[in-house]
Chains A and B, each alone.
Chain A
Amino acid sequence: MRYSGWRVIREALTGHKGWTPAWRDPEPQAAYDILVVGGGGHGLATAYYLAKEFGQAKIAVLEKGYIGGGNVGRNTTIIRSNYLLDGNQPFYEFSLKLWEGLEQDFNYNAMVSQRGIINLFHTDAQRDAYTRRGNAMILHGADAEMLNRDQVRALYPFLNFDNARFPIKGALMQRRGGTVRHDAVAWGYARGADQRGVDIIQNCEVTGIRTEHGRVTGVDTTRGFIGAKKVGVAVAGSSSKVMAHAGMRLPMESHVLQAFVSEGLKPVIDGVMTYGAGHFYVSQSDKGGLVFGGDIDGYNSYAQRGNMPVVEDVAEGGMSLMPMIGRARLLRMWGGIMDMSMDGSPIIDKTDIDGLYFNGGWCYGGFKATPASGWCFAHLLATDQSHSTATAYRFDRFRKGLMIDEKGQGAQPNLH
């Protein structure tokens, strides 16, 4: 069924009896050509582009829980392409371009809203660093703009501009950045993949990866063995667990990142704001809730919940940036498990086992990457070649000293 305004009117006039489920709930078949492990944003996007752009058939997505229950439903919905390094920026700009055409492409309202993102700076040195970043973005075809103090004040007059420790001196603005309704991304990709014949199999956890003579033959799951010629793993925080079934150790630690939503408020923040110095970033959802977060908790965790010290740290950051946030009440808070890589950048690569491919290490930046991650992983699965924007995302970059370390902090996952 194609969604459109006419469809809504027709259904309204006929008692909404014509709507059908957005995707099927099929039983797993005995074997597929390509299995995508992980039914999150990246896995679903991979299956969608495999079927749509790369003409592959007999594809299944295996999800241990339900669609939209993992990190794709736990993030703070921000999209942007404000990266500095050559290995990253072309990829994230590719992703932002895909976001811009996504809703028409998969015929689903994902509420892509390019409301602009600003990164605040507080010192001359930070201003210079952001100028450099902005120039790098422009050189790679993205948009960037430096705002001075008065321009930031015109946007957000309520900020604490004269904070003693971090006075606001200006900001780097990317107007094409913004937010997207995160669940709708999962649902849209799931529906689009399903319409093209992909089997989406929920409540199906992978418990083993079978290989024969160095070649993958399929996976054991809680719903039995499923054969496959190729297996692509895109399971975010569970990456180490799943790849351990194939005997691999990854350059990764799993960490918990918390996020928060306030009660619904009248419109006050129309864009996205990051305050790195204060470990705080914020936007406002269309329902009115302030959606905000800060740093990862900083220790290995698979718990999907964090601890109070980081809650306090985030609240302090919010108070120092916009003191009026102290009057808002918190509605919800939650945690998601991040696959923190050693240099803070992702991996989309083949493994030493024929037919086994890996996509992970997205740290806390996976949501904005969803379309390009899916596209590039589909490209790799279909053609055995890295997509031109993802050539740097290799396993061997650590061995070769080709780290993509945006923050320049070294091999220390809890600092990225």
Chain B
Amino acid sequence: MIINHPLLGPRDAQEFVYLGDASLIGRPDGMTEGAVDAFHDYLYLRDNPAGEHRELWYHEQGDRSWLVVTRNTVTHEVVSVEIARDVARKMGRSK
């Protein structure tokens, strides 16, 4: 698989470490009501779709950036690649 890095261009997936579903960016607030349930779901439950999947890849053998890669889990086709920081900021995270 080739991951088209937004800054570095096409890189082999072997340079990356895989973390999993990009929903991990949306860490729940531990101070709210129902935080225990929210953390259970956040930590352990996954959509695990057959088809397009947004997921976190870390460019460990490269520039050490976190990327959000949209990839088809049935064909392994990489559909789009974003810098994870940009995605997190769009979701309202400060960093």
Chain B residues within 8 Å of A307, by CB: 1, 13, 76
- The residue that A253 contacts in the complex, of B14, B48, B76, with Cβ under 8 A, is B48
**A302 B74 Cβ-Cβ under 8 A:** yes
Contact with A along B62-86 (1 / 0, CB 8 A): 0000000001011110000000000
> How distant is the Cα of A238 from the Cα of B12 in the complex, in angstroms?
28
> How distant is the Cα of A241 from the Cα of B18 in the complex, in angstroms?
22
Chain B residues within 8 Å of A414, by CB: 18, 20
Tell me the nearest residue of chain A to B36, going by C-beta: A399
Chain A residues within 8 Å of B40, by CB: 398-399
Given contacts A300-B20, A303-B75, contact A251 B44 (CB under 8 A): yes
Please, could you name 6 A-B residue pairs with CB atoms under 8 Å apart, sorted by A? A240-B48, A252-B48, A253-B48, A254-B73, A398-B44, A413-B20
Q: Is the interface of B mostly helix, strand, loop or mixed?
A: mixed
Contact with A along B9-35 (1 / 0, CB 8 A): 000111000101100000000000000
Q: Is the interface of A mostly helix, strand, loop or mixed?
A: mixed
**A303 B76 Cβ-Cβ under 8 A:** yes
| Minimal beta-carbon separation of B45 from chain A (angstroms) | 4
- The residue that A411 contacts in the complex, of B21, B41, B43, B74, with Cβ under 8 A, is B43
**A302 B44 Cβ-Cβ under 8 A:** no
**B76 A301 Cβ-Cβ under 8 A:** yes
Interface size, chain B (Cβ < 8 Å): 24
Tell me the nearest residue of chain B to A299, going by C-beta: B18
**B14 A300 Cβ-Cβ under 8 A:** no
Chain A residues within 8 Å of B50, by CB: 238, 241, 254, 302
**B73 A309 Cβ-Cβ under 8 A:** no
| Minimal beta-carbon separation of B3 from chain A (angstroms) | 11
Q: How many A-B residue pairs have CB under 8 A?
A: 66
- In the complex, besides A309-B13, A309-B14, 5 extra interface pairs with C-beta distance below 8 angstroms are A254-B48, A300-B48, A300-B55, A302-B50, A414-B20
**A251 B55 Cβ-Cβ under 8 A:** no
| Minimal beta-carbon separation of A346 from chain B (angstroms) | 15
**B45 A250 Cβ-Cβ under 8 A:** yes
Chain A residues within 8 Å of B43, by CB: 342, 398, 411
Chain A residues within 8 Å of B76, by CB: 301, 303, 307
Contact with B along A405-416 (1 / 0, CB 8 A): 000000111100
> How distant is the Cα of A300 from the Cα of B40 in the complex, in angstroms?
21
- The residue that B45 contacts in the complex, of A249, A254, A301, A302, with Cβ under 8 A, is A249
> How distant is the Cα of A309 from the Cα of B21 in the complex, in angstroms?
22
| Minimal beta-carbon separation of B6 from chain A (angstroms) | 19
Chain B residues within 8 Å of A342, by CB: 43-44
Chain A residues within 8 Å of B53, by CB: 300
> How distant is the Cα of A244 from the Cα of B48 in the complex, in angstroms?
10
Q: Does A298 contact B (CB under 8 A)?
A: yes
| Minimal beta-carbon separation of A343 from chain B (angstroms) | 9
Contact with B along A70-96 (1 / 0, CB 8 A): 000000000000000000000000000
Given contacts A249-B47, A254-B73, A411-B44, contact A298 B18 (CB under 8 A): yes
Q: Does B93 contact A (CB under 8 A)?
A: no
| Minimal beta-carbon separation of A157 from chain B (angstroms) | 35
